């Protein structure tokens, strides 16, 4: 009876295991709830950290010339805000001018379109018929007006929220840049000496790669802006400088397809002025993309940051999937930092010359080279001593010990 009672009794460890399991589940739920609530703030802090990494080389350069770090940080960020403000001003000017030109040219374009439809399909449409049908027989405009009126409050909230996020990122970027040495010293004080060197080395790599990416892309943007502004001025398009700035920024900071995305707005402008100029502009865009990818960019990024085009596009897509537009902007400097860190800590081995790597020789020559190499390897292995035969020391060791005379 005693044994039966003891076997049915609850094990002593079970209540503690259940308590730990419920505590772990509660901690997980609390952590997940807090992470989702703080995801926006975490994203802003990540953006601010990368901005501070990009600004730190310029600040360090000024502090090396005996400029106080606070003054150097203020100068660098004033220049940065001026550049961003100039780009936004150029963008607003372009949008206003493009919309105005489209509205002015829209009647003529519609007349040309109606004439083409009537001549091609043997119809008898007129602009007045299309206008009456659009205004009276359709509720598209009324529905659009009602939707816009209902979304005005949401648009205002979005603008105010974006402004608040911008100010938060700017504030923390300035703080992290100005107090960079203090922040590194605080983090290193929590780690042993061996870990401190690893953290500081990774931090240096992040600063070099992020700053190098920003400055190389800024140089590419300036060259692209000047080149396209000159070509647009030759075509006599309106606002060539603003269009050049737009072209330079979008084409340089959006990898692989940035040039083609940036060309959409200038081509629309060209269509409203002289449609045939859009063809010349498209040809110039393709030629400049080839010049930038194969001649200009490798020379500029050789000493800063060099990421394979396919890897860059994949990292941008992954960053956009994780964090949206912010992730797309931060993907390439983060990838370059990880790539540089891994290249220093992963072992590398010398690769022997092999025709199967480059595959430049004809197939018959590659097979002949492989046969010669195979025969040479078999001859070398046959000349080596038999590795399976036991050595003298191993033979003596494996023999049974001699029995002592009785």
- Residue 224 has a CB neighbour count (10 Å cut-off) of 25
What pLDDT is attached to residue 406? 42
Tell me the C-alpha distance between 268 and 236, whole Å: 14
Question: Dihedral angle at the C-alpha atoms of 299, 304, 308, 311, nearest 10 degrees?
Answer: -150
Instruction: Report how far residue 338's alpha carbon sits from residue 346's, in angstroms, rounded to the nearest whole number.
Output: 12
Q: What is the pLDDT along the chain (406 residues), one digit of tens a residue?
A: 445 555 567 777 888 888 899 999 999 999 999 888 888 888 888 888 888 888 998 999 999 888 999 899 999 999 989 988 888 887 787 777 777 766 776 677 677 777 777 777 777 767 666 666 555 554 555 555 556 555 555 556 677 777 888 888 889 999 999 988 898 999 889 888 888 888 888 888 888 888 888 888 888 888 988 998 899 889 888 888 888 888 888 888 776 677 788 888 888 878 777 778 888 888 998 898 888 877 887 777 666 666 666 777 788 788 877 777 677 777 777 787 777 777 777 777 787 777 677 677 677 777 777 777 777 777 766 665 554 444 444 444 444 444 444 4
Which letter does DSSP use for residue 55 in this model? Answer: H
Confidence (pLDDT) at 390? 47
Question: What pLDDT is attached to residue 26?
Answer: 92
**Cβ(214)–Cβ(341) under 8 Å?**
no
| Every domain of the chain and the residues it spans | 307-347
Q: In this predicted structure, what is the pLDDT of residue 255?
A: 67
CA torsion sign for 239, 241, 246, 247 is: positive
The whole-angstrom separation of Cα 316 and Cα 311 is 9
Distance CA 3, CA 324 (A): 64
How many other C-beta atoms can be found within 10 angstroms of the C-beta atom of residue 196?
Answer: 16
Q: What is the pLDDT of residue 372?
A: 79
């Amino acid at each position: 009876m005693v044994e039966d009672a003891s076997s049915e009794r609850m094990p002593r460890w079970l209540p503690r295991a259940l308590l730990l399991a419920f505590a772990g589940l509660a901690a997980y739920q609390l952590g997940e709830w807090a992470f989702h609530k703080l995801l926006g703030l975490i994203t802003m802090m990540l953006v601010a950290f990368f901005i501070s990494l990009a600004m730190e080389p310029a600040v360090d350069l000024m502090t090396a010339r005996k400029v106080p770090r606070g003054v150097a940080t203020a100068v660098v960020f004033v220049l940065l805000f001026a550049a961003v403000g100039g780009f936004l001003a150029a963008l607003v000017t372009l949008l206003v001018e493009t919309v105005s030109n489209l509205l002015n040219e829209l009647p003529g374009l519609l007349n040309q379109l109606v004439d083409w439809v009537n001549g091609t399909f043997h119809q008898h449409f007129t602009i007045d018929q299309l206008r009456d049908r659009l205004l009276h027989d359709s509720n598209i405009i009324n529905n659009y007006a009602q939707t816009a009126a209902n979304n005005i409050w949401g648009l205002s909230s979005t603008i105010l929220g974006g402004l608040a996020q911008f100010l938060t990122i700017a504030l923390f970027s300035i703080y992290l840049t100005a107090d960079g040495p203090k922040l590194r010293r605080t983090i290193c004080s929590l780690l042993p000496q061996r870990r401190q060197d690893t953290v500081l080395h990774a931090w240096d790599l992040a600063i070099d790669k992020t700053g190098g990416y920003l400055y190389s892309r800024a140089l590419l943007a300036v060259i692209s802006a000047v080149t396209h502004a000159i070509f647009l001025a030759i075509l006599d398009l309106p606002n060539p400088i603003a269009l050049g700035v737009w072209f330079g920024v979008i084409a340089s900071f959006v990898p692989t397809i940035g040039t083609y995305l940036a060309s959409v707005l200038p081509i629309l402008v060209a269509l409203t002025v002289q449609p045939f100029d859009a063809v010349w502009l498209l040809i110039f865009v393709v030629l400049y993309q080839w010049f930038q990818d194969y001649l200009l960019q490798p020379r500029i990024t050789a000493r800063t940051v060099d990421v394979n085009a396919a890897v860059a596009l994949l990292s941008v897509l992954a960053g956009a999937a994780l964090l949206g537009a912010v992730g797309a902007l931060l993907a390439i400097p983060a990838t370059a930092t990880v790539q540089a860190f891994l290249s220093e800590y992963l072992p590398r081995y010398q690769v022997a010359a092999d025709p199967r790597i480059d595959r430049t020789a004809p197939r018959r020559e590659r097979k002949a080279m492989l046969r010669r190499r195979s025969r040479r390897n078999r001859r070398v292995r046959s000349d080596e001593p038999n590795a399976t035969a036991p050595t003298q020391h191993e033979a003596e060791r494996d023999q049974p010990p001699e029995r002592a005379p009785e």
